[in-house]
Structure 1
Amino acid sequence: MRRLLRWAATAAALPVLAACTGTPPEDAGPAEAGADARPIPAECEAAADLPKRQMRGVWLTTVRNIDWPSEPGLEAEEQKEELRAQLDAAAELGLNAVFFHARPTADAVYASDKEPWARYLTGEQGGDPGYDPLEFAVREAHARGLELHAWFNPYRVGWKDPDLDGLSGDHPAVEHPDWLVEYDDQGWLDPGLPEVREWVTGVVMDVVDRYDVDGVHFDDYFYPYPAGGEEFDDDASWEEYGDGGDRDDWRRSNVDALMADVHAAIEESEPWVRFGVSPFGIYRNAGSGPGGSDTEGLESYSAQYADTRAWIEQGSVDYLVPQLYWERGFSAADYEVLAPWWAEEVRGTGVDLYIGQAAYRVGEDGEKAWEGDGALARQLDFSGGLPEVGGDVFFSMQDLRGRAQGAMERLSEDHYALPALPPRAGGGEGRPDPVGGLGAERTGDGGVRLSWDPVEGARSYAVYRVAGDGADDPCALAGRDNLVGVVGAGDGPSFTDTAADTAAGAAEDGSGGGDEGLRYFVTALDRYRTEGAPGEGEAVAAPTG
């Protein structure tokens, strides 16, 4: 049996383990105080059977009070209490990101000088809830080690009753009535107007510049979903800007331009903020044109004029979350057809792919595929085996805490038993400093409480537990095998490993090193999600008896 590595006495060994943490590009320069940190060597990457980065997200919807707040008009403290409970539940389910609905109907779930307060807060559009929900959500999410992506509907103004009938005087559709197009029972800002594109980009950047969000997220609402017998009346903008070309191509070019504008603005201002979209799950059917999927359903390419392939090719998005809300084996839109199709589209492009999962369908009447606690795990059993699939996002929070609770608990056992770090943002230079001042003490109930000194610039921390003789393995931190927690940054960061004695006992029984106890390591992650080198490890003796 190999001896437990003595980090304090063998300082030269630190760079070896440090080399196995983080994944910046090969030419990234190390931070001054973390000069020993280097990219993961190829042999360490190969040794990581379980990659430690994975998107595990949930949509938290505010429109029509689907997820939060439970009803309009609650007092500020009641709203905060409900939101804390939602974020607690997300963390307990093993998730690491919340997609918070910040702009549901060209209004704001945050303090804005550009658009009025959303009516879902107080019951009246423009009604001040008495606090800033987005600011509160960001702070509370980060405290739990969760990312927060601000979710925007770029064009939707809302439903006629009560949204369009109750627009406040400072709503953009009231101040610019020529921007509004009514279609079926809804209202939309006209995507064909350059001033609308400029406005939406400005709204997004107002949030990016003022709030510490981790991402900006658009859903599938660009041009509206088709309604039988209805025509989207953009004749005026078409006549002024269409240049006599194909109208469908022009509409797609309008959406393409918005995507490029928003991505470029974020990249220039706050490049660590990731920009992504969750399009409808079918881009195009193979029968409609080259490159489509073997499906027979509504196409986002021709229905919402969302050309996701162009966004991938042009680098207008950092990630995609196609809404694959159909089960494995569904003839018109088979999950087993669509997940590989999307994986092929992003392969080698640098665009990350996560799958939008239909938690709302669990237990659906008459649908055998969605019965039982294995309904969601079955989906991930398939798509989780595709190398390009970097995680999943679930719709929506109320379902994870309701009809899909059992299915999510089963999924957590099968797929989320170990924590995961969030995906890394592109760019950034160097790494956070190594964590110092790590201390450990037993809690008396089989756990170990860790505390350490804050690291400047840290957004979160990763906590690793390595058993006995595995502590000197230079690749011990390369995967998530030994990751036990992700902790939000704070003035006095800490983590309690409640399963410490269980882990030590398991090591003694089978994996080796239990008689020599455990050793803990902590690393810091910055706003790019770049991981720093581990500081000196802290040993905890095996429990007696």
Structure 2
Amino acid sequence: MARPDRTERPSPRDTAAVPLPRIPRTAALCGTLAALLAAPLLAAPSASASASPGPPEGGCPTAADAPPKRQMRAEWIASVVNIDWPSEPGLSPDEQRRELDALYDQAQADGLNAVFVQIRPTADAFWPSPHEPWSEWLTGEQGRDPGYDPLAYAVEEAHERNLEFHGWFNPYRVAMHDDPGRLTGDHPARENPDWVFSYGGRLYYDPGVPEVREFVVEAMMDAVENYDLDGVHFDDYFYPYPSGGQELPDTDTFAEHGRGFDDIEDWRRDNVDLLVKEMDQAVHAAKPHVKFGISPFGIWRNASSDPEGSDTSGFESYSGIYADSRRWVREGWVDYINPQVYWEIGLSVADYAVLVPWWAETVEGTGVHLYIGQAAYKAGNDGAWSDPQELSRHLDLNREHPEVLGDVYFSATSLQTNARAAMDRVVEDHYGSPALVPVKEDLGGRAPWRPRVVDAEPGEDGTELTIRPHWHSSPTYYAVYGFDGKPNPHDRWCGLKDPRNMIGTVRASDEGETVFTAPDDDGGRTYYVTALDRLHHESRAAMRYVP
């Protein structure tokens, strides 16, 4: 779907309390006696490790051209108005499943390691929610059961491909039209008409009503509590983008729920802050390992409005939609921030080369991860976007700022259509090797115990490595590295740090043994396998030489 530029006006894209402490994963063994019993196991190296010298003095040199070993590489899969999935309403369950499989397979082929899937686009649900009706984007009729659980399928298939699954929610949008009579009869917006206002031809929940905030958090948390999400994701829609000079119809709400604020705009920002803080608390209270992140509009404030702002002159989310995204980062109310920097390098009103350093400085020292939202939907447009190399140049620039930990592309369909040539360049220039998802240290977790490679046999497509977890460990997935020749101490200590030696990753099987096929193997190679938990902490490596 074509998306207009947002420097002057918003695109129609579909697209505040101290946070609870992050609770580390409970150790498998606890207590003094257990720790003493475990100490010999922790200290004892394997036979192969004991034969190898330690790491080189001064550590391992980093190859200048080595890509990052850890990067978020993701795409948005939008469901509203059937942008990406399902491609149209009313498809059969099998057709919907096949479409999603194809999107996931392409993501995997492009070297991505996560998907951000829109599962609550318009106060509705892609799962059997007790709070809101089935989404009309599934069947064409709001409230109609699609005949299966799309969210359960989407999570399962993402994990099967070892893709992180981030559930993408739109907090306040109720409908893409302004007629409450078109909603299901038992829709909360119809049962509570004082919760809703019409603006710009659409219906929205009023963020200033306390009961609204409580309800939308509860509705979204149903998915968090009942599905194996890796992340909870908000896009840039809080208060609606300005429309035709129309005033927001919330003066009565301000009069009733103003909480002592003198300025209605400060109050609106505080309403959004409260939602962000409360969602952060709710997510981590229920599941401490689940990441909470937001993808705000790419400009917080211009320097002409605030000396802390960016050297830009475009639309400001701070005053335009009351989204104080810089504060969310500084207060630690999000685990990651994913600004939509949807402009080319050199654009005077909103230069990509200005905004990325601004966001890098914003997150510096906060512990909040920074991923850049990339406008794949613009690829092929006139000007800079007519060059398939534009997206790749964005990633070149990102490499100059170590705070940038990855990229998210809008959207999945674009990566298969207008942006295909541009994404091919990205893959060639930047994604030639797999990448592990960055670790968010304060969410807990720990590296699993080192796995075992119990067998290596030739198969139709390469060498089949059979991997077993340590008896004391339940890893989420494995990473496999390959080197030509016999075991080499340098490979063990330094080669594993270079992602160009990583062949791939594979989800750990619930059956105990996991098989990974190493392609194009004519023998005479050494493989190393590490185990990782769901938060991507990596174990020491097991080794297997295949003559």
Give the TM-score, by structure 1 length: 0.86
Q: CA deviation at 1:533?
A: 2.2
Please tell me whether residue 324 in structure 1 is matched to residue 330 in structure 2.
no
Q: Which residue of 2 aligns with 1:269?
A: 286
CA distance 1:418–1:368, change in 2 (3 Å): same
**Alignment partner of 2:243 out of 194, 212, 227:** 227
Is 1:35 aligned to residue 42 of structure 2? yes
- Identify the match of residue 538 of structure 1 among 527, 535, 544: 544
The aligned runs of 1:12-23 (5 Å cut-off) are none
Q: Is the 8 A contact 1:37 1:431 kept in 2?
A: no
Higher relative contact order (CA 8 A, sep 6+): 1
Cα distance, 1:350 vs structure 2: 0.1
- State which of 63, 68, 78 in structure 1 corresponds to 2:85: 68
**Closer, same or farther: CA 429–360 of 1 in aligned 2, 3 Å:** closer
Question: 183, 207, 217: which is aligned to 2:233?
Answer: 217
Which residue, 382, 399, 406 being the options, matches 2:397?
382
8 Å Cα contact 2:72/2:405 also seen in 1: yes
1:161-210 Cα distance to aligned partner (Å, 9 max, x none) = 7x755211222211211110110111111111111111121122211110
Alpha-carbon distance, 1:489 to partner: 2.3
Corresponding residue to 1:349 among 366, 369, 375: 366
Q: Which residue type is aligned with residue 482 of structure 1?
A: N
The change in CA–CA distance for 1:453 and 1:26 in structure 2 (over 3 A counts) is closer
What is the CA–CA distance in structure 2 between the aligned matches of 1:42 and 1:352, rounded to whole Å? 31
SS in 2 for 1:288: coil
* Cα distance in 1 for residues equivalent to 2:377 and 2:227: 30
The 1:251–1:36 alpha-carbon spacing in structure 2 relative to 1, beyond 3 Å, is: farther
Kept in 2: contact 1:36–1:533 (CA 8 A): no
Report the CA distance between 1:104 and its aligned residue: 0.1
Tell me by how many angstroms 1:430 deviates: 3.5
| Cα deviation, residue 540, structure 1 | 1.5
Q: Does 1:391 align with 2:406?
A: yes
The residue number in structure 1 matching 2:477 is: 460
1:523 counterpart (498, 521, 530)? 530
Aligned with residue 425 of structure 2, among 406, 410, 417: 410
Q: CA deviation at 1:68?
A: 0.7
Q: CA deviation at 1:532?
A: 2.1
1:493 maps to which of 492, 514, 524: 514
Query: Cα distance, 1:458 vs. partner?
Result: 2.1
The residue that corresponds to 1:21 in the other structure is none
SS in 2 for 1:484: strand
1:128 is aligned, of 140, 145, 148, to 145
Whether the 8 Å contact between 2:261 and 2:267 is mirrored in structure 1 is: no
Residue 132 of structure 1: how far off its partner (Å): 0.6
* Aligned residue identity for 1:235: T
Amino acid at match of 1:129: P
Q: Distance in 2 between matches of 1:237 and 1:47?
A: 57
- Residue 439 of structure 1: which of 455, 458, 465 is its match? 455
Q: Does the CA-based 8 Å contact 2:25-2:445 persist in structure 1?
A: no
Distance 1:28 1:384 in 2: 36
Judge which range, 328-337 or 478-487, deviates more. 478-487
Aligned to 2:48: none
Q: Distance in 2 between matches of 1:251 and 1:284?
A: 16
Q: Which runs of 5+ in 2 are unaligned?
A: 1-22, 30-37, 46-54
Match of 1:179 among 192, 195, 198: 195
Give the Cα–Cα distance (whole angstroms) in 1 for the partners of residues 372 and 108 of structure 2. Answer: 19
Counterpart for residue 192 of structure 1: 208
User: SS in structure 2 opposite 1:57?
Assistant: strand
Rate the CA distance shift 1:108–1:26 in 2: closer, same or farther, 3 A.
closer
Contact 2:487 2:526 in 1 (8 A): no
Equivalent pair of 2:67/2:430 in contact (CA under 8 Å): no
Alpha-carbon distance change, 331 to 273 in structure 1, aligned in 2, over 3 angstroms: same
1:130 to 1:27, Cα distance in 2 relative to 1, 3 A: closer
Q: 1:70 to 1:444 in 2, by over 3 A?
A: closer
**In the alignment, is the contact (CA less than 8 A) between 1:84 and 1:140 conserved in 2?**
yes
Q: Tell me by how many angstroms 1:294 deviates.
A: 0.5
**For this pair of structures, how many residues does the alignment match?**
497
Of 123-132 and 152-161, more deviation after overlay is shown by 152-161
- Pairing of 1:4-403 with structure 2 (within 5 A): 35=42, 44=59, 47=62, 49-160=66-177, 164-242=180-258, 243-364=260-381, 367-403=382-418
The RMSD of aligned alpha carbons is 2.5
Q: Percent identity?
A: 51
Name which of structure 1's ranges 397-406 and 458-467 shifts more when overlaid on structure 2: 458-467
Q: Following the alignment from structure 1 to structure 2, what is the Cα–Cα distance between the partners of residues 453 and 218?
A: 37
Structure 1, unaligned runs of 5 or more? 1-24, 505-516
- 1:468 to partner: Cα distance: 3.1
SS at match of 1:266: helix
Partners of 1:281 and 1:405 in 2: CA distance: 24
Q: Check whether the contact 2:24–2:443 (CA below 8 A) recurs between aligned residues.
A: no
Offset from partner CA, 1:518-544 (integer Å, 9 cap, x none): 211112211222222223x11122xxx
Deviations 1:435-468 (A, max 9, x none): 12432223366x3222212565322211111333
TM-score in terms of structure 2 length: 0.86
Q: Indicate conservation of the 8 Å contact 1:158/1:187, yes or no.
A: yes
Q: 1:498-525, CA deviations, whole angstroms, 9 ceiling, x for partnerless residues?
A: 2434xx8xxxxxxxxxxxx321111221
Is the deviation greater in 339-348 or in 200-209?
200-209
Q: Distance in 1 between matches of 2:160 and 2:97?
A: 14
Aligned AA (1:466): F
The alpha-carbon deviation at position 321 of structure 1 amounts to 0.7
User: What is the CA-CA distance between 1:36 and the residue it aligns to?
Assistant: 5.0
Q: State the 1:400 CA deviation.
A: 0.4
Q: Is the 8 Å Cα contact of residues 76 and 115 (structure 2) preserved in structure 1?
A: yes
Question: Matched residues in 2 for 1:452 and 1:159: separation?
Answer: 49
Contact 1:30 1:429 in 2 (8 A): no
One-letter amino acid of the structure 2 residue matched with residue 307 of structure 1: D
CA contact (8 A) 1:238 1:247 kept: yes
Q: Give the Å deviation of 1:45.
A: 7.4
Relative to structure 1, is the Cα distance of residues 73 and 342 closer, same or farther in structure 2, using a 3 angstrom cutoff? same
- Distance of 2:27 and 2:310 partners within structure 1: 42
| Amino acid in the other structure paired with 1:421 | L
| Letter in structure 1 aligned against 2:372 | I
> Would the aligned equivalents of 2:451 and 2:467 in 1 still touch at CA under 8 Å?
yes
- Deviation digits for residues 113-160 of structure 1 (CA, Å, limit 9, x no counterpart): 111000000100001001111110110000001010000000011221
Deviates more, 1:216-225 or 1:464-473: 464-473
